[in-house]
Amino acid sequence: MTELPGRIVVAGASLGGLRAAEQLRAAGWTGAVTVVGDEPHMPYNRPPLSKEVLAGKAPFESLALTPKPAAADVEWRLGTKVVEARLAERTVELDDGSVLPYGGLVVATGMRPRRLSCPGPLVGRHTVRTLADARALRDELARPGARVVVIGAGFIGCEVAATAVGLGVREVTVVDPLPLPMVGPLGELLARALRTRHEQRGVRFALGATVAGFEGDDRVTGVVLGDGSVLAADVVVESVGSVANVEWLRGNGLDLADGVLTDEQLRVGGRPEVVAVGDVARFPNARYDGVARRVEHWSVPSDTARHAARVLASHLNGADAELPPFAPLPTFWSDQHDFRLQSFGAPALGRDDVRVLDGDPADDVLAGYHADGRLVGVVALGGQAATRGAARYRAQLLRQPALTA
């Protein structure tokens, strides 16, 4: 048998890809690392794209992530897409026609925005995922008197609506088929408080409403709702969820139903030489019920990369030490207007039993989410004091045994 090539290929050059490369070095991998990314940029930080940077409070340059010195010898192939992986042969093919053999592969290709397929013009319709997206949207929000319709009341939609209000646009309306903003992750109590806060600050809502199409000839002038009514719009933002970038993994017998399925060590397809990190990884969390889920939180690329790099490096270095199963404590924040949402744990698992732990939904509030009577997550909504309150429960959430135990 020929010797394995001593190279790890990382597909995707964003936060997950960067952290994977850094953590491979930290885990003792001294062989070659090549990171392939289809965006033209070095890895950058996405959260400010809907907040400070979109608001013009921070420059685009401030987004750059600085690779650690230990990862200085990593090869970056940017502006290059992985078009196909042949896992049995341990090769990936790039869009420049080259084929890279690998000893180890890290899947870090993340997500892209889902688009609405209903009829109408495309110009004037935006998504927010990349630098280029945020630049284009920022230019349009800066047009005097813009009327903005945000479709989708998830966290990105809520953040963009808040930023647009802050920029002084003429009006902002958020449309969603659900009855409250962010009700999926937050549950009713906080979702209602969130809606009130947005309305007090000038955001309008069209809730329980679907989108049937777009009006306009060469560019969008209105959003047609399911009941036939029309919201006038100069700028439309579609924040209706995301789609995993997994097409390049097809044909390998993997479960790609929602991202790429991993085992409790973040390995893919039962292969010890392939791991997945970041938004694209659908992993079971040993801290909870063992059900595999994708988690689109900023903390996840770093957490998954640390674990996956150890798993991969120890396998390739011939150690194959079995690590304890991956069991991160999810953390999430979102900044909207002058307030912050801060969550620890898995509130969505305890959405049916939400209790106010501190404060009052009209003011700073801290809510606890319970499953089988046990605290599984906390969410703070408000200012500094509320956020600090949530942090106090973090240790308790960390100490708890698995839900299945």
Q: Which of 5, 39, 41, 47 binds another protein (CB under 8 A)?
A: 47
Judge whether 351 and 315 are in contact, CB under 8 Å: no
Site membership for ligand FAD, residue 328 (CB under 6 A): no
Closer CB to ligand FAD, 334 or 387, in the complex: 334
Report how many residues bind ligand FAD under the rule CB under 6 A: 36
Residues in 137-166 at the binding interface with ligand FAD, rule: CB under 6 A: 156
Closer CB to another protein, 51 or 125, in the complex: 51
Site membership for ligand FAD, residue 108 (CB under 6 A): yes
Site membership for ligand FAD, residue 46 (CB under 6 A): yes
Q: Per CB under 8 A, which region of 41-49, 93-101, 153-161, 190-198 contacts another protein?
A: 41-49
Site membership for another protein, residue 163 (CB under 8 A): no
Site membership for ligand FAD, residue 347 (CB under 6 A): no
Least separation in angstroms between CB 405 and another protein = 24
Indicate the angle between helix axes 155-166 and 131-141, nearest 10 degrees: 40
Residue among 255, 150, 258, 154 at smallest CA distance from 204: 150
Helix or strand holding residue 314 (H, E):
helix 299-316
Q: Per CB under 8 A, which region of 43-51, 141-149, 261-269, 368-376 contacts another protein?
A: 43-51
Residue 296 binding result from ligand FAD, another protein, none, given CB thresholds of 5 to 8 Å by partner type: ligand FAD
Tell me how many degrees the CA angle 383-385-387 measures, rounded to the nearest 5.
Answer: 75
Judge whether 343 and 298 are in contact, CB under 8 Å: no
Site membership for ligand FAD, residue 332 (CB under 6 A): yes
Site membership for another protein, residue 317 (CB under 8 A): no
Q: How many CA atoms lie within 13 A of 226 on its CB side?
A: 10
Strands across the sheet with 292-294, in order? 260-261, 281-284, 292-294
Indicate the angle between helix axes 188-200 and 155-166, nearest 10 degrees: 20
Q: How many C-beta atoms surround the C-beta of residue 11 within 10 A? A: 30
Helix or strand holding residue 387 (H, E):
helix 384-392
Euclidean distance between CA atoms 243 and 246, whole angstroms: 9
List of E strands, 200-338: 203-207, 211-215, 222-225, 230-232, 235-238, 242-244, 260-261, 267-268, 271-276, 281-284, 292-294, 331-336
Q: List Cα–Cα distances, 235 to 161, 210, 217, in angstroms.
A: 12, 18, 14
Residue 222 binding result from another protein, ligand FAD, none, given CB thresholds of 5 to 8 Å by partner type: none
Site membership for ligand FAD, residue 397 (CB under 6 A): no
- Tell me 5's DSSP state: P
Binding track over 66-85 against another protein, x by CB under 8 A? x-x-----------------
Closer CB to another protein, 214 or 393, in the complex: 393
Q: Which of 154, 185, 278, 389 binds ligand FAD (CB under 6 A)?
A: 278
Binding site for another protein (CB under 8 A): 19, 45, 47-48, 58, 62, 65-66, 68, 298-299, 302, 331, 333, 335, 384-385, 387-388, 391, 394
Binding site for ligand FAD (CB under 6 A): 11-17, 36-39, 46-47, 49-50, 81-82, 108-111, 128-129, 156, 245, 248, 278-279, 296-298, 300-301, 332-334
